[in-house]
């Protein structure tokens, strides 16, 4: 089962705290796999393999624009989060999941499954998407881009575009089999903010958004679904890709209340002693008979 919760806008520090708290509960077996979906205020995150040189803006510029920078433990380089971007934090126990071959799901399998879920979200909105060999994430399109009808000043990406442009970035952390961090999917994101960085450290590819692709689709402007609607679609596709039932949770309080009680150790009805067979094997002295 996947418990899914949409949290609207959450500060990045609060998002980190929630992930840590929920990862502990999932690791203890007190919660099932949890998918948090939300958006953040403007923030840059630098992964453990990131290059600080890929942050192009000075600290003064970031401060003037109200953008904070966080160095974190996920994989990948630098990325941007901000309003209009759906951020997903799947906090899953990999030991409960199986890859397409029936074996235990590993981190790479997990990333590929997340890509597949986002590709299906794009497909459901008539935006063809896929993968690019050697690059993580979800990519849209090929060929030249021009501003199309209804683009409404979305602007060009901060550097010339190649055929593929990234609509979904992915970076995870795995500790003791429990995943954290996840994906960022551009819905109505202000693409100009990606000019602060070299997105994911990839200088020769651009970025895009669902809003921009719908405007460039050649059929005139199409309505962009609300972020909460895209979140629902993403949760549904996660359930299908991971072959798990998805249960929507109404609030963080409801999620916390669904956690199973902490297990005491040892259990009250389980005597903590060596089995008699082991005692005889090792020649241990007999236990005194209890009255």
Residues annotated as catalytic are 200
Nearest to 234 by CA among 285, 179, 165, 186: 186
Q: Identify the helix (H) or strand (E) that includes residue 130.
A: strand 129-132
Rounded distance, CA 226 to CA 249, Å?
Answer: 19
Residue 15: C-alpha distances to residues 7, 11, 109 (Å): 10, 6, 24
Residue 279: C-alpha distances to residues 150, 273, 275, 288 (Å): 80, 10, 6, 13
User: Which residues, 6 or more positions from 77, have their beta carbon under 8 angstroms from its beta carbon?
Assistant: 46, 47, 49, 50, 51, 54, 198, 200, 201, 202
Q: Identify the helix (H) or strand (E) that includes residue 139.
A: strand 135-140
For residue 37, list its beta bridge partners: 6, 88
Nearest to 6 by CA among 74, 117, 83, 86: 86
Three-state SS for 46?
A: strand
How is residue 90 written in tokens? 């799947």
* Under 8 Å between Cβ of 193 and 80: yes
* Under 8 Å between Cβ of 187 and 85: yes
């Amino acid at each position: 089962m996947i418990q899914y919760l949409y949290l609207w806008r959450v500060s990045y520090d609060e998002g980190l705290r929630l992930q840590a708290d929920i990862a502990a509960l999932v690791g203890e077996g007190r919660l099932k796999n949890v998918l948090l979906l939300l958006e953040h205020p403007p923030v840059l995150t630098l992964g453990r393999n990131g290059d600080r040189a890929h942050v192009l803006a000075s600290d003064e510029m970031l401060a003037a624009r109200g953008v904070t920078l966080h160095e974190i433990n996920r994989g990948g380089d630098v990325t941007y989060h901000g309003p209009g971007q759906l951020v997903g934090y799947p906090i899953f126990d990999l030991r409960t999941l199986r890859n397409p071959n029936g074996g235990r799901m590993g981190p790479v399998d997990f990333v590929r499954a997340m890509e597949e879920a986002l590709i299906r979200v794009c497909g459901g909105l008539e935006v063809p998407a896929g993968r690019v060999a050697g690059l993580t994430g979800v990519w849209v399109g090929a060929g030249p881009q021009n501003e199309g009808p209804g683009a409404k000043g979305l602007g060009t990406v901060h550097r010339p575009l190649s055929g593929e442009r990234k609509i979904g970035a992915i970076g995870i952390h795995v500790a003791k089999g429990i995943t954290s961090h996840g994906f960022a999917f551009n819905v109505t994101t202000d693409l100009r903010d990606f000019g602060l960085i070299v997105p994911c450290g990839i200088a020769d590819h651009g970025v895009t958004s669902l809003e921009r692709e719908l405007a460039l689709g050649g059929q005139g402007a199409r309505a962009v679904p609300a972020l909460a609607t895209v979140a629902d679609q993403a949760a549904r596709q996660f359930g299908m890709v991971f072959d798990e039932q998805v249960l929507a949770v109404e609030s963080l309080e409801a999620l916390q209340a669904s956690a199973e009680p902490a297990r005491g150790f040892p259990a009250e009805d389980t005597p903590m002693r060596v089995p008699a067979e082991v005692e005889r094997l090792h020649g241990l002295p007999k236990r005194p008979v209890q009255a």
